[in-house]
Amino acid sequence: MEGPWTAGLVVLTCYVAVSLAGELTFELADNDRQCFYEDVDAGVKCTLEYQVVTGGHYDVDCLISDPTEKVLYKEIKKQYDTYTWTSEKKGIYKFCFSNEFSTFTHKTVYFDFMVGDEPPLIPEMGDHDTALTQMESSCVTSHENLKLVIDYQTHFRLREAQGRAFAESLNERVNYWSIAQTVILILVGIGQVVVLRSFFTENKKHQGI
């Protein structure tokens, strides 16, 4: 399953490994497969969210496996999805995106891989016996709302990019079709002129005889 493309993913893999909760948008060529790796402790909640932004029918194959190569998740030709699981073993978890079923269409894929829970904004939040002040509660609420806004903005940007790519593709097809219609009209016009001229030429020949 591995191939020469693995070496080209070192930078991307390191980015995800260091961030522990990283978002990434990358290009997936036709007949290509790219994998990313994350070292996860046992008993940690993980979430993978992905979406195909541009290319073809906006679909991609996705597979997630644990350190023992056990398949945790596998979907074929999926446009977008979210999968959450709790790691049972400590080790390297792998998630791969495949475009091997496509012969000429490149894809742009976005994914967000989250490992573990976010640490509390205020240390006292971890102590259930300590009540938060009104100011602290307001800060926590604002923080959660801002996180929600960022999440909405990300999804809106993805939808905008997907819509823009579709509009540009449609515009390109319309331009090609307009050029084809123009060429056909010119050829039809030339053909009509040739046919009309042939009629007059034949009449002159008959009159000459």
The structural domains of the chain, with segments of one domain joined by +, span 4-117
* Greatest mean pLDDT among 31-35, 114-118, 192-196: 31-35
pTM: 0.64
Residue 204 has pLDDT above 70, yes or no: no
CATH architecture of the domain with residue range 4-117: Sandwich (2.60)
Which tens digits make up the pLDDT trace of 45-87?
A: 999 999 998 888 889 999 999 999 999 999 999 988 999 999 9
- The full DSSP string for the chain is ---GGGGGGHHHHHHHHHHSEEEEEEEE-TT-EEEEEEEE-TT-EEEEEEEEEESTTS-EEEEEE-TT--EEEEEEEESEEEEEEE-SS-EEEEEEEE-TT-SS--EEEEEEEEESPPPPSSGGGG-TTSPPPHHHHHHHHHHHHHHHHHHHHHHHHHHHHHHHHHHHHHHHHHHHHHHHHHHHHHHHHHHHHHHHHHHHHHHHHHHH-
* pLDDT confidence band for 205 (50 / 70 / 90): low
Which tens digits make up the pLDDT trace of 138-197?
A: 777 887 788 788 878 877 887 887 788 888 888 988 999 999 999 999 999 998 888 888
